Structure 1
Amino acid sequence: MKKVLVIGCPGTGKSTFSSRLSKESGLPVIHLDSFYWKPGWISCSNQEFDEILKNLLLQETYIMDGNYGRTLDFRIPFADTVYFFDFPRYLCLYRVIKRTIWNHGTTGEYMGKDCPESIDYKFIKSVWNFRKNQRMRIIKVLEKYKGSKNIVIFRKPKEVNNYFKSFSK
């Protein structure tokens, strides 16, 4: 395991998992949100983000945390391992709301500079609709790489905890 992607709906714990996996494996973490979002929640253009990704993907080792479905077909060929967090929408929504309330007004360590947590209807709606709008596309992309990539799908938080128990044995 040298080049890892961690993908899935917001609120599944991708960033927390990536940080913990980094501690266990020694691989550096790349939080894509910190590259995509400029201060004040201004997104970079697709062209700008694609250039950033090209450079990041050339690194020798990494754990790349972030869904960014538009870029998935481009990123997977570089990876040897993909973790897909496929949690129920209610759990994702609960976690996003909890995180937002808990961290309201602060900028998380995984986020872009000066991008404070806040409740945003558009974001909440995207979390709610993730399974309907993005899940099947991700599954179809992952199907193409079965056998050539190590693909791990987590459907429950308990599976993540069990994974780390077996990882450290």
Structure 2
Amino acid sequence: MKRVVILGRGGAGKSTLARALGKATGLPVVELDKHFWGPRLEPMPAELWAVVQGELAVSDQWIMDGDLGPYDVLEVRLQRADTVLLLDFSFWRCAWRALLRSRERVDFWVWLWSWRRKSRPVLMDAIASHAGDATLHVLRTPRATKAFLTQARV
């Protein structure tokens, strides 16, 4: 496990998992939200986002966390990944976590609500198409996530 992509619904704990996994493995963590969103929360154009990701993914070791929903260009980082973690937590858990952390825009809440029905199938297709050789872990509960972290420390 040297190049890890973490995907999932907003509020699932992607960044928290990335930091914990980085600490456990020594891999550098790249929080994609910090590279993608402009100062007024405007999304980066897709063509530029693909270039930026290509620059971030060129190194041999990293953990990239982020699921940018309809704005994302997944194939760039998925093609380099050897491990993909998909956090598939319930809407209610993610909504609660999102409420606790900050105020979100309406489009975030629409994405959060429709993630399992709309975004998850797109993610699974992208993983199959662009990360076929990567190991996929679908984590559905905090307990499963904790177990994965424990295993990663070994």
Instruction: State if a TM-score over 0.5 links the two structures.
Output: yes
Secondary structure at the residue paired with 2:137? strand
How many residues align? The count is 151
Secondary structure at the residue paired with 2:79? helix
Shift of 1:91: 1.3
| Identity across matched positions, percent | 28
| 2:138 is equivalent to residue 136 of structure 1 | no
Unaligned runs of 5+ in 2: none
C-alpha distance in 1 between matches for 2:65 and 2:151: 21
Letter paired with 1:3: R
Specify the alignment match of 2:26 in structure 1: 26
Per-residue deviation, residues 143-165 of structure 1 (Å, max 9, x unmatched): 4445x211111011110112222
C-alpha distance in 2 between matches for 1:80 and 1:134: 21
Contact 2:25 2:152 in 1 (8 A): no
Secondary structure at the residue paired with 2:136? strand
Kindly report which structure 2 residues correspond to 1:37-56, keeping only aligned pairs within 5 A, or say none.
37-56=37-56
**Residue number among 123, 138, 147 corresponding to 2:108 in the alignment:** 123
Secondary structure at the residue paired with 1:38? coil
Specify the alignment match of 1:3 in structure 2: 3
Per-residue deviation, residues 1-26 of structure 1 (Å, max 9, x unmatched): 11110011111100000001001111
Per-residue deviation, residues 73-102 of structure 1 (Å, max 9, x unmatched): 2321211011011111121111111212xx
Shift of 1:166: 2.7
CA RMSD of aligned residues (A): 1.6
Secondary structure at the residue paired with 1:10? coil
Contact 2:8 2:14 in 1 (8 A): yes
C-alpha distance in 2 between matches for 1:73 and 1:15: 20
C-alpha distance in 2 between matches for 1:152 and 1:121: 30
C-alpha distance in 1 between matches for 2:37 and 2:126: 25
Letter paired with 1:83: L
Shift of 1:42: 2.3
**Residue number among 90, 98, 101 corresponding to 2:100 in the alignment:** 98
Instruction: Kindly name which structure, 1 or 2, has the bigger radius of gyration based on alpha carbons.
Output: 1
4+ residue runs over 6 A deviation: none
Contact 2:18 2:65 in 1 (8 A): yes
Unaligned runs of 5+ in 1: 101-117
